[in-house]
Structure 1
Amino acid sequence: MAASFVVSLTVIPVLCSLLLNPKAPRVENARRDVHAPSVALSPEGSEKLAGGEASPRAGTTGAPPQSERTPAGVPETSAAPAGADAHGDGGPGVSPPANLHQPSGLGTPPPAEYDGFLVRFLKTALRRTWLRLALDQPLLVIALAGMLLIGALLLYPMMGKEFLPTFNEGSATISVVSAPGTSLAQTNEIGEVGVRLLQTIPEVKSVGRRAGRAEKDDHVMPVSVNEYDVEFHEKGRPRAEVFAEIRKVLGTLPGTFTNVGQPIGHRLSHMLSGVSAKIAVKVFGNDLVELRTIGMQIEKIARDIPGLTDVNLEAQVPIPQLKIEVNRERARAYGVQPGALNEQLSTLLGGKTLAELREGPRTLDLVLRLPAEWRDSPEKISEMLIETTSGQRVPLRLVADVREARGPNVINRENTQRRIVIGMNTSERDLESLVRKLQAAVAEKVKLPQGSFISYEGEFQAQQEAAKRIGLLSVLVFVVIAFLLYGYFGTPVFALQVLCDIPLALIGGLALTWWKIDNISIATLVGFIAVAGVAARNSIMLLSHYLHLMRHEGEEFTRAMVERGTLERLVPVLMTALSAGIALIPLVLAAGEPGKEILHPVAVVICGGLVTSTLLGLGITPAVFYAFGRRAAETAVRREAPATG
């Protein structure tokens, strides 16, 4: 923002001074133009122009009225008498110069003296090189542009695809997950070792740690999870190298899994898939054992693909449990209802809040449940007394079977279906190609049972959906623009030419993106949309001026007219490109700087597109117009003639 402000106050005025400041005509020409009309035209038959020049009134010819001509019998002279000076001081019958009776610019370009040195140089260079080639060999120039476009489009599949550019946040959020059931004391011991390992990395400035999160937290975590908030020094190695070393040192902790990310990245991943990872592979099905088996297969496949990191299967493991199965026949015989029995067991084993106690600012829940020695003993639970519908009490063992078993520590559901998640990050920016490799390997090696399916979510899914949405909206916008251009020009030929000039911006945008970034993101697509508007504007500017010369300045459809129109619109086209391009140069050079991750690819695309759309457009647009636009231009001029006449 600051760079753009400085550019607007410094560079833009300088460009205006160089490109838009005209030179005054030479004094000799001005003096000749001022004196000549005083001999040939009377004040009543002429109107003064700026600077003292005179021109015929609208609807009159260059000759004086009959009443003011030379009296009868006196012959009119068509040339200055002998001895007349160079300023036109001849007799009253001297005719004015021929060019005085035509508006300047009717079929001829304005005099070169009105252009500054830089503008004259640019126009001469354009006229003698690129524009001459375009008008001499229009088909060759069009074919050249087509080959450049094909070459640029071939770069697209070679570049990586990602949802958003990687943020350089200056900090990291790291999770070290221990086995389910790990005690808080053991988790703290592991966490302290992790802190000491992180402090050995030179780029680490400070480390904060917490173990688990409260049950009412937005992102509740068990006490078996250590979370680190790491702040980095501004200078040092690239962030990717630092993250790789973090994974290496924390990977020495036995029995743990490490997930390395950044605060905004983790939040974004949570919003997209509910998992703190860029890629979330979700397996849906009915059988938990089958889900875990499939998940372990996918985890193994992902670990073998280079570029995929932090691969982790959701911690859904069998743990010791007490299983209570109600015998419905015996329960009916004793008058025990299953629903009432379930409520009693839930209260006695899980606990029920009866009241809240306040002690100063503290609030304590008064909970009713059995003591721990009863809850952990199947024999004692079997002897619990259960109330029947008749008011009597019977031991639980008479109506239910109580035994030790193993079951999952957690059952996750999504859209009412059971699922298990394999999360993973990437060490490379080409997210799409990595997911494609994973999809192909899973489809080849994993056989899904009936009723099970796999969903690939996270940033990959968001990137695919956003790209499709932008593509669809772009097509709709182009259709609307085509109708608007047709209404403006009155012919589909020029509307189609404007749309065909837009790919000229894609050439430079794709080429510079491939060179500077080598990755396509949603920010890059936004840049293409912006530069496409500039390319369309330049094309409209040139075509409109060609038609203006034919409608209002008496030009015919000739090469000279096309050349004149292109040169007269050179300065506006260059001002558009330079003002935008120079302002974006600081962002183009700001690769990897914090806060500019989104704007950098946008600026790269726009600057590259401005270069090719401006340079190629000054040759392609006149070439296409000169080669294919004669009939459409003449039709547009004839359609306009009755209205202007």
Structure 2
Amino acid sequence: MLDKIIKFSLNNRLIVLAFSAILLVVGTYTTLRLPIDVLPDLNRTRVTIFLESNGLAPEEIETQVVLPVETALNGAPGVEVVRSSSAIGLGLIYVEFSWDTDVFRARQLVAEKLQAVTLPNGITPIMGPISSVMGQFMYVGISADNTSAAALRTLADFTVRRRLLSIKGISQVIPIGGERLQYQVQVSSAKLKQFDIALDDVEKALSQTTRNTTGNFYYEYGTEVLIRNVGRAESLEDLANTAVVSRNGQPVLLKQVAEVKFGAAFKRGDGSINGKPAVILAIEKQPGTNTVGLTNEVEKACADLQLSLPKDVRLNPKIFQQKNFIENSINNVTEALRDGFVLVVIVLFVFLMNLRTTVITLTAIPLSLVMTALIFQLFNFSINTLTLGGLAIAIGELVDDAIVDVENVFRRLKENSVAANPKSTLRVVYEASSEVRNSIVYATIIVVLVFVPLFFMEGIEGRIFAPLGIAYITSITASLLVSLTVTPVLCSYLSPLAPNGGAEGQDTRLVRWLKLQDTKLLNWSLKSPKAIITAATLLIVISMGTIPFFGTEFLPPFNEGSFNINLIAPPGTSLEESNRLGTIAEKLMLQVPEVEYVSRRTGRAELDE
């Protein structure tokens, strides 16, 4: 079969070269469009349930709210783990499914189970958005010099947040900081007593005054008109003029028993930038979204929004970006690939001392890489540190198959040039490639088998390291295919035009010197087998003995270009005191010359976990 592949390639050389050129162009285009991320897809199917329970203590939330929901969800099909946490006024439940469970089916199963749960009045379970496991990939800060905290938060909630949510790939935008305005009715107990009104009467009147009702239709002359009772309050004055009850035929208005005004809602979290109050928007992305491309879209949207905001309001999308870490990581691995490629070029040329044979061998690298990119596109893999790491490991081996073939073809052509009855070039190339085909295939299979165990790893370990194995195996297999097709074709075109490699076809000086030294070393080794075996055994034992002293960790430390500093205060510390402590920490960090931005998120945002 392998001989047939080689023969077909040599009989259709132009077709093979044309197909290789097309493959190179399409593969390069595909490579530039592949999603870029720091790690492979680690999104295990998970549904988060928010249980807002204002006023309840953690013990009450655990027993009255969380426990009934957990009990119902434990019996759902495909559920593997149900975890929960309870805090003041909030219960969170995390439902994890198997890796292969469809996220929409999982959410449907959870929704069905939630319908059968009876919870205390006023508590409604809400499922969180479908978000990436990488969490909040970007922070956008909103600060101002003169604009009030309430106006700043209003801009964040109703202008900036809505614009960012419209970007494809954004799953959630969580604002924290500023003051959320609300209608506040501050009832006077003395005035209630004066008018003989109960607090329930005020609450009932407020619930009925903020809605519109219908009065059916009015028909006349073949037309119909909708009759409506427009009772929804649209201003503070409308709300203040709400009739609470009637006394002696006269309505008692809300403004007679209470003060109606705009006020800041009670908050459990706050934010600041560089030690000054601000609103911070934490942005989450959907699974499988390109982090770098999405970050660029958010930056573009912020630049457009900045033009319509008040002059003293500043949007800062560079407070925190995972994009910087991803680009640095990708650049580091890309530089390793580049350096490896350069070293391969140098070594090949030094050993072969022939430009044409070097070029033939090096064609295996770009063709193997673009074929790997096409496989990534087919199976929805991203370019990340693990896949690039697999390619970096394979970069030196991508030319192994080709160089074995090229060296043998080059040697046979030199022998053929001095033969009494020289054969045709195509015949020599075919026979030379057939001679080494078995060695090439066996070597490739053995190398591939080393990485096969990676595919049997389960859980998150398998999700992380399997792409590395896929990148390595795919590129090595692609190089094997190139050595059986493209390499013989290039040899048939370029090798006959090359010089004969020196007088009488001898090796280069460097290769002759290395062979001489290798011969001396082999002769000495064969004369002292016991010493060699003893030394090798001793080195193996010493190496095995050092293994228990190695440090272990799941992943190496990452330098993201930013620090995440957690300040932990004693339980019961108020938000005001936490803000004071956080501001002190911010000002201390700003004294470091290299620090560009300092942002702080204290407490919990309304939409956050």
* Shorter-chain TM band: 0.5 to 0.7
Contact 2:76 2:113 in 1 (8 A): no
Aligned to 1:625: 491
Aligned to 1:300: 162
Distance of aligned partners of 1:641 and 1:606 in 2 relative to their CA distance in 1, 3 Å threshold: closer
Aligned to 1:444: 304
Of 553, 561, 577, 2:428 maps to 561
Contact 2:143 2:273 in 1 (8 A): no
Superposition pairs for residues 24-423 of structure 1, below 5 Å?
122-123=2-3, 125-134=4-13, 137=14, 140-167=15-42, 174=48, 176=50, 178=52, 184=58, 191=66, 195=70, 198-199=73-74, 201-205=76-80, 207-212=82-87, 223-230=88-95, 232=97, 234=98, 237-239=101-103, 241-242=105-106, 259=128, 269=134, 277-283=135-141, 285=143, 287=145, 289=149, 292-293=153-154, 295-296=156-157, 297-314=159-176, 316-317=178-179, 411-413=270-272, 420-423=279-282
Give the C-alpha shift of residue 173 in structure 1: 8.4
**2:160 partner amino acid:** I
Of 343, 350, 357, 1:494 maps to 357
Higher relative contact order structure (alpha carbons within 8 Å, sequence separation ≥ 6): 2
Give the C-alpha shift of residue 260 in structure 1: 6.8
Distance of aligned partners of 1:440 and 1:634 in 2 relative to their CA distance in 1, 3 Å threshold: same
Contact 1:510 1:608 in 2 (8 A): no
Of 634, 642, 645, 2:500 maps to 634
**2:23 partner amino acid:** L
Of 443, 466, 469, 1:576 maps to 443
Q: SS of 2:374's equivalent?
A: helix
Give the C-alpha shift of residue 429 in structure 1: 0.5
Provide the alpha-carbon RMSD of the alignment.
4.6
Q: SS of 1:161's equivalent?
A: coil
Give the C-alpha shift of residue 414 in structure 1: 6.0
Q: C-alpha deviations, 1:587-608, integer Å up to 9, x for none?
A: 66x7996531123323333443
Contact 2:139 2:320 in 1 (8 A): yes
Aligned residue pair count = 413
TM-score computed with the length of structure 1 as normaliser = 0.53
CA distance in 2, matches of 1:423, 1:508: 38
Contact 1:508 1:610 in 2 (8 A): no
Aligned to 2:390: 527
Structure 2: tracts of 5 or more residues without a match: 183-262, 514-609
CA distance in 1, matches of 2:68, 2:507: 86
Is 1:615 aligned to residue 481 of structure 2? yes
Contact 1:513 1:519 in 2 (8 A): yes
Q: SS of 1:167's equivalent?
A: coil
**2:22 partner amino acid:** M
Aligned to 1:538: 401
**1:478 partner amino acid:** F
Distance of aligned partners of 1:205 and 1:516 in 2 relative to their CA distance in 1, 3 Å threshold: closer
CA distance in 1, matches of 2:479, 2:10: 15
Q: C-alpha deviations, 1:373-410, integer Å up to 9, x for none?
A: xxxxxxxxxxxxxxxxxxxxxxxxxxxxxxx9999865
CA distance in 1, matches of 2:276, 2:341: 42
Tell which structure's C-alpha radius of gyration is larger: 1
Aligned to 1:601: 467
Contact 2:405 2:483 in 1 (8 A): no
CA distance in 2, matches of 1:525, 1:258: 36
Contact 1:542 1:565 in 2 (8 A): yes
Distance of aligned partners of 1:208 and 1:635 in 2 relative to their CA distance in 1, 3 Å threshold: closer
TM-score computed with the length of structure 2 as normaliser = 0.55
**1:309 partner amino acid:** S
Percent identity over the alignment is 14
Contact 1:177 1:257 in 2 (8 A): yes
Distance of aligned partners of 1:250 and 1:441 in 2 relative to their CA distance in 1, 3 Å threshold: farther
**2:2 partner amino acid:** L
Contact 1:285 1:418 in 2 (8 A): yes
Give the C-alpha shift of residue 241 in structure 1: 4.0
Aligned to 1:514: 377
CA distance in 2, matches of 1:235, 1:641: 56
Distance of aligned partners of 1:549 and 1:521 in 2 relative to their CA distance in 1, 3 Å threshold: same
